Amino acid sequence: MDDNKKAKIESGLLTAAIMALLLLMLWYVSVEAPRETEEEGVEVAFGDNENGGGAEPEAVPMPAEPVTQAPPPTPQAPSENDLVVQDDEESLALAKQREEERKRRAEQQELIRKQREEQARLEAERRAEEQRLAEERARQAAIEQEKRDKAAALGGLFGNNQQGAQGSGTTQGASQQGSQNPVGHGSMGGNSWSLAGRNIKALPRPSTQFNQEGRVVVDIQVNSEGKVISATIGEGTTVSDYQTRQVALEAARKAEFSASDNKIQVGKITYTFKLN
């Protein structure tokens, strides 16, 4: 056996002997430790208590039991019924909101519809009133024109050459030559004219290429030389045919009046059309 192994064995034995010695000492100390002995005997009470028990011992208060707090309730997961109820409430709230929105939109649409109907009614009333006024003006103009025509016819019948009477004229070709007196208005061949302070020099007859009977009133503008520089359809016209109106406008543009110091004057020429 080599020295190494021998040394290990010796140290192990030494360690075991020390441990055994320590355990023996501990056992001895624990056996020899003094113990408190309780006094034995019977307790005898002395005193004036009739029960012979002596003075009653004072009551020793018992320690209060510690108050224990109840544990907090354990949260429970919502049941299936709770989830169904919650879903129903949300669905009802959503449905109510949608119904209110639908009602609000319906009210807005109804308001817009009423406004449009009111605007259409007012527009129809306005147009009807304009139509009525136009017809009334045309009727009044026709009455006035008829009065003027009658007055001019009576003046020509009695040979009245005073101012305001019809000028006498002779037909030459397509034109009619009138009196040189500045009468301001007159009529020739069923057609009449009016231009303040001037006399007619030539009032051409309209072409026979017309399609409708009636009256066409032409508003004219005449320059200082007596030439017609503008001709448009005026109030009092009863003819709606385009061709007939154009015939009247072409004839009015060829009319000639006496000269005047006025640069531009406004007058009228009225043509009466009758189908053969």
Q: Report the CATH number at residue 217.
A: 3.30.2420.10
How far apart CA 133 and CA 139 sit, in angstroms, is: 10
Gyration radius of the chain over CA positions: 68
The answer to whether residue 3 sits within a structural domain is no
The answer to whether residue 34 sits within a structural domain is no
The answer to whether residue 10 sits within a structural domain is no
Q: pLDDT-derived band of residue 223, with 50, 70 and 90 as boundaries?
A: very high
How far apart CA 203 and CA 148 sit, in angstroms, is: 18
**Cβ contact 184:194 at 8 Å:** yes
**Cβ contact 14:7 at 8 Å:** no
Q: CA end-to-end span of the chain, whole Å?
A: 170
CB within 8 Å of 256: residues ≥ 6 apart: 200, 201, 202, 226, 227, 228
Stretch (H or E) spanning 179? none
At 75 the pLDDT is 66
pTM, two decimals, is: 0.37
The answer to whether residue 25 sits within a structural domain is no
The answer to whether residue 54 sits within a structural domain is no
Average pLDDT in the chain: 76
Count: domains in the chain? 1
Q: How many CA atoms lie within 13 A of 180 on its CB side?
A: 1
Residue-wise pLDDT for 161-201, tens only, equals 333 333 333 333 334 444 444 468 888 888 999 998 899 99
- Count of CB atoms situated within 10 Å of the CB of 166: 24
The answer to whether residue 57 sits within a structural domain is no
In the block, tokens 């006399």 appear at 199
At 46 the pLDDT is 53
The answer to whether residue 219 sits within a structural domain is yes
- What domain range includes position 237? 87-276
Stretch (H or E) spanning 91? helix 80-157
The answer to whether residue 227 sits within a structural domain is yes
